[in-house]
Structure 1
């Protein structure tokens, strides 16, 4: 009987002394749903311009923002030769307000065949 008691105590000692594992579980849900940390209002200025005479690319963009007020403009050289300009503002919840203008006249060159077919063979 004493051997049984010693074996039981040994098994209990091994189980208690062994490493304790915590089962993996999902992290607890956040308590501040949708709350954003306090941040300073956005404020920035940027300007970008590309003019590549080789490929014909000509475009640019300028924008400045102070808090909820944003102003900017961008332009692009269209394939028909006109320059499209867009000036825009965003003031708070008023939405995006844009004024689009075009400079120049659209040019449509005469159509050119993309290849010159070889003459039909003549059999004599």
Structure 2
């Protein structure tokens, strides 16, 4: 082997050891404690969709809540926690009183016509439609 080849191999060996960070010599890696926070809310006057959620994680503990406005006029609130030792715990409560329409249909008796407006369309996605 000539001198140039020997220097090239030695240089590559040195560079390859410099490319990897030191692992403290114990095989341990630095770990960052998991954590996040997010929240969102929706209020759509067209579809009457109203809901919100927030959640926070610190290490193994998760806390959060979500709300949803149900069709009967009540607001459902779910507060939850989850931890390594306690598992998932939720408390559900409602605000307001359920109110149902006084009449259904055009004539007020539930027959003789269709009442209300639907925002739901018939959809069908077959195989290969990309959805």
Decide: shared fold, TM above 0.5. Answer: yes
- Give the gaps of 5 or more residues in structure 2: 1-28, 115-131
Aligned to 1:19: none
Runs of 4+ residues deviating >6 angstroms: none
- Structure 1-normalised TM-score? 0.59
Between the aligned partners of 1:58 and 1:105, the Cα distance in structure 2 is: 17
CA positional deviation for 1:38: 6.8
Q: Which residue of 2 aligns with 1:111?
A: 104
Shift of 1:95: 0.9
2:34 is matched with 42
**Partner residue in 1 for 2:47:** 55
Partner of 2:24: none
Give CA deviations for 1:4-60 in whole Å, capped at 9, x if unaligned.
xxxxxxxxxxxxxxxxxxxxxxxxxxxxxxxxx874231000001000111100001
CA gap of 1:92–1:114, structure 2 versus 1, over 3 A, is farther
Alignment coverage as a number of residue pairs: 81
CA distance 1:54–1:93, change in 2 (3 Å): same
TM-score with structure 2 setting the length: 0.56
SS at match of 1:80: coil
Q: Which has the larger radius of gyration?
A: 1
How far is the alpha carbon of 1:81 from its aligned partner?
0.8
User: CA separation in 2, counterparts of 1:99 and 1:114?
Assistant: 40
